Amino acid sequence: MSDNFFDELCRKALACGADRAAVVPVEKVETDASFRKLCESNVCGNYGKNWRCPPCAGDIDDLIAELRSYRYMLVYQSIGRLEDSYDFEGMMAAGERHSTLTKAFIQITEGDRRLGRHVNLGAGGCRICPTCAKKDDLPCRHPDKAITSLEAYGVNVSRLAAAAGMKYINGQNTVTYFSGLLFDGTEECHA
Ligand code: SF4
């Protein structure tokens, strides 16, 4: 796999608005099945209310096994500025911006055959639709575009940040979101 292809993927993520991007081998991505308990506590309100959040997203052990079947993960982060640590609206706005950049990144990379087998992972529940169809117990409207979160795959995001040479927390009055792209790459990527 060519480093140039990795660099190209990183540049594309940055061009979409990410603050940092890096490719790591999947062996460096730490996962923990016990994270599913955090989702079950439903602090975010998405548990059972979003097709790409637990429990609908799938069994945690199956998702971790799927993750381990890929070779690489592109990790990218965006840092949102907050007025203060209680700036809930600022957090929501930063989450929306991150979702928008994730969708833009997916759009500009989706047809790239050099990725080979791949899957995109986002931050939190899928935000392709303003309101997930699961809330009305209707089928997913865009199963081909829906994005599962890193957390649903049991990814330890703070350890992922370290593995990718990034900070998980980027200073007072900031909020940081992460997305990922799992991929195998093809022979076409070799220099
Ligand atoms: S595409 Fe829409 S309906 Fe499907 S998981 Fe995402 S938000 Fe829900």
Q: Is the CB of 141 under 6 A from ligand 1?
A: yes
- The four Cα atoms 4, 159, 118, 58 give a dihedral, to 10 degrees, of 180
Give the pLDDT of residue 190.
52
Q: Which atom of ligand 1 is nearest to the CA of 52?
A: 5
- Give me ligand 1 centre to Cα 152, in Å: 15
Give the pLDDT of residue 3.
74
**pTM for the complete prediction?**
0.93
How does pLDDT run along the chain (191 residues), one tens digit per residue?
A: 567 999 999 999 999 999 999 999 999 999 999 989 999 999 888 999 999 999 999 999 999 999 999 999 999 999 999 999 899 999 999 999 999 999 999 999 999 999 999 999 999 899 999 999 999 999 999 999 999 999 999 999 999 999 999 999 999 999 999 999 999 998 776 55
Residue 166 to residue 89: CA distance in whole angstroms: 25
In degrees, rounded to 5, the angle at the alpha carbon of residue 141 between the alpha carbons of residues 140 and 147 is: 65
Domain positions in the chain are: 3-189
Q: Is the CB of 129 under 6 A from ligand 1?
A: yes
Tokens at 166, concatenated: 């990034």
**155: closest CA among 123, 108, 117, 110?**
123
Handedness of CA 165, 190, 29, 44 (dihedral sign): positive
Mapped onto helix, strand or coil, the DSSP state of residue 51 is: coil
Give the pLDDT of residue 189.
65
Residue to mutate (ligand 1; options 46, 49, 50; most atoms within 8 A of CB): 50
